[in-house]
Amino acid sequence: MQNSIKTRRTEQRWSQADLAERLGVSRQTVIAIENGKYDPSLPLAFRIAKLFDETIESVFIYHES
């Protein structure tokens, strides 16, 4: 699954630590999600989308294999 979190975060001029604090997760979690190494839980995905005032589908892009 791909995501646009890094782009949206930099548009807001937030560091990874800023985003992590807003989401209540570690900076390492943000790094892993941005790099596609970790898919967030559904509740976290909803929090991310809500924080950016976007839909989940616009933040996370799923490609069937």
pTM summary value: 0.92
Task: Assign domain 2-61 to its CATH architecture.
Answer: Orthogonal Bundle (1.10)
For each successive 10 residues of the chain (65 residues), what is the average pLDDT?
96 98 98 96 98 97 82
Amino acid (1-letter code) at residue 55: T
Q: What is the pLDDT at residue 46?
A: 98
Q: What is the pLDDT at residue 49?
A: 98
Q: What is the pLDDT at residue 63?
A: 82
Q: What is the pLDDT at residue 7?
A: 97
- Spell out the SS3 assignment of the chain: CEECHHHHHHHCCCCHHHHHHHHCCCHHHHHHHHCCCCCCCHHHHHHHHHHCCCCHHHHEECCCC
Q: What is the pLDDT at residue 62?
A: 87
Map out the domains of the chain as residue ranges: 2-61
